[in-house]
Amino acid sequence: MAGPSHASLDDVLRQHTALLSRGPVAVVFVEDEVEVASTLEHNLARGFATVLALMPAGFALPAELERRVVRVDFDPTASGACVGAMNRLIAAAPGTWFYYCYNAEYLFYPFCESRTIGEMLAFHGEERRDAMLTYVVDLYAGDLEAFPGAVSLDHACLDKSGYYALSRTDPATGQPRDRQLDFFGGLRWRYEEHIPKASRRIDRISLFRAAPGLRLLPDHTFSDQEYNTYACPWHHNLTAAVCSFRTAKALKRNPGSTFDIDTFRWHNSTPFDWTSRQLMDLGLMEPGQWF
């Protein structure tokens, strides 16, 4: 499918809403020029029917990708821009499955090497689930001298342990919310002194089905509390992982943290082999009833 280029999200929503009906739709917010092509290619390989690249007008894309993705001129660094864009897309396409991420982030779900995103979401929907919990698993280059920007697909590492969860309290009642947890770990946990408290969680509802009145909130949760649950009441459900260089990039780019970090490696680092099996073995995603 040819990928048109649009001057704004308004243009897409005004003239090309049919693009959003061919789900599932991947929305990639391009914050910088690091691994943009590999991120878009990864989503295309997963089988998304439409891939939207919301990116600054000055950023370049290979011609081959320009033909395969829908490029939209957009500044994702403006305050509230990404949440606002997702809520506009949700309102425009009720019933469509969406996935959203940033550049240098890569979606993995159980058995993704042999099954498409559409197959996985069809099964998830049959279990009466309209959203899927994803863990944002921090990736980082093992050698920061060789890769000072902390990004290397061929030499990526992740933490094999150090993840934990706390109950999520309902501010209205002071009681734990049903089937909701706040998850922590990875670089956001190890370098929490450099991470704002509101940004330390690693859970994100990256996959969800749009519905009338649904709103994405700034903390990566949704206005419908059932969307924020990790499983249905009667058994475990599928979860997925978003393997992300985003935190590593930020820690090495930020003057307040970069000089404190000579390496991200520690005794619980392990090379990332880019397979769903490794993530399942580490407990970083759950196959549920899907075999």
Q: Read off the pLDDT of residues 36-71 as tens digits, 9 standing for 90 and up.
A: 999 999 999 999 999 999 999 999 998 889 889 999
Tell me if 57 sits within 8 A of 49, measured CB to CB: no
70-73 and 50-55 strand pairing:
parallel
105-108 and 240-244 strand pairing:
antiparallel
Strand partners, 232: none
Strands of 24-86, DSSP E: 25-29, 50-55, 70-73
Please report the pLDDT score of residue 2 as a whole number. Answer: 45
Q: For the chain, which ranges sit under pLDDT 70?
A: 1-4
Place of tokens 């864009």: 85
Quote the CA–CA distance of 89 and 17 in Å, as a whole number. Answer: 9
Please report the pLDDT score of residue 3 as a whole number. Answer: 66
Domain edges within the chain = 1-103, 104-291
Please report the pLDDT score of residue 1 as a whole number. Answer: 43
Tell me if 131 sits within 8 A of 60, measured CB to CB: no
Instruction: Cite the DSSP H helix spans in 139-256.
Output: 186-190, 246-253
Residue 14: strand, helix, or coil:
helix
